Amino acid sequence: RLEAVIFDLDGVITDTAEYHYLAWKELADDLGVVFDRETNEQLKGIGRMESLDILLGPSAANFTTEQKQVLAAEKNEKYKALIERITPNDLLPGIRPLLEELRASNVKMAVASASKNAVTVLRKLEIEPFFDVVVDPNSLAKGKPDPEIFLAAAEQLDVEPTNCIGIEDAAAGIEAIKAANMDAIGVGDPRLLSNADVVVEDPSIINLEMLEQQMAK
Ligand code: G6P
Ligand code: MG
C-alpha cells in the first residue's frame, strides 16, 4: 500500500541538477580540468566533497584537504548565485499537481537530497509546506548509493520502507532506493537508470494512479 513518496530534489522537483553542473563546470574550467556532461552524470546525487574528488580525478592527490575545502566552497558560492534566481516557475512540469494530489490523498511526502542547499531551494519554489520530512544530510554517515537517506526518510515519516516509493534522476539514487527496499521511479534516460522499476522522461507523467499501480505490482 502506498503510504509515502520520497522525492530527490535536484533534477526531480526542479532543474537544479543543471545548476550543479554549471557551477562544477566553471570550477573545472578555472582549474584547467576536463569536465563534461558524461562525467557529470557520475556526480548526480553525490555529496559535495565526493563530487570534487571525482571531478579532480587522479589530480585530487595534488591538493590538501584544506585546498579541497576551499574549492568546494567556491563551487558552492557559484551554485548559490545560480539558485538565487529560482522562483515557483522553476518547478518541473507536473510537480505541483502531483504534490497537491498526494496531499489530498493523505500520502506522506519527504525530500531525500544530499544537498545542504535543499531547504533554500524548497523555500524559493514555495513548496516546503508539502513535505512532512526533509532529511538533513548533515545527520547521515553515508551518501547515495547507500540506502541510509531513504531509510531515514521512511523512519522519520513513520512508514515501512516497502510502503514507500522513491523518485530519482540519478543512477546512485535509484541504487539507494532499491537497496532501501522501495519501489523506484527514475526521471530521465532509461539507459542510465536501468535499475529503476519505471523510468519516465519527465515528472509530468507521474500521478497517484501510476504510483498506486506500481505499488500493486
Ligand atoms: C545533490 C545533487 C548533487 C550535489 C549534492 C550536494 O545530491 O544531485 O549534484 O553535489 O546534492 O549538494 P550541495 O548543495 O550540498 O553541494
Ligand atoms: Mg537528483
Query: What does the alpha-carbon distance between residue 50 and residue 97 come to, in Å, rounded to a whole number?
Result: 34
Give residue-wise pLDDT tens across range 39-58.
999 999 999 999 999 999 99
Provide the ipTM: 0.98
Give residue-wise pLDDT tens across range 176-195.
999 999 999 999 999 999 99
Average pLDDT of the chain is 97
Active site residue 10: yes
Nearest to 182 by CA among 148, 208, 133: 148
* CA of 1 relative to ligand 1 center, distance in Å: 31
The cell numbers describing 55, all together, are: 571531478
Query: What does the alpha-carbon distance between residue 118 and residue 161 come to, in Å, rounded to a whole number?
Result: 22
Residues with CB under 6 A from ligand 1: 10, 17, 20, 43-48, 51, 76, 113-117, 170
* CA of 105 relative to ligand 1 center, distance in Å: 30
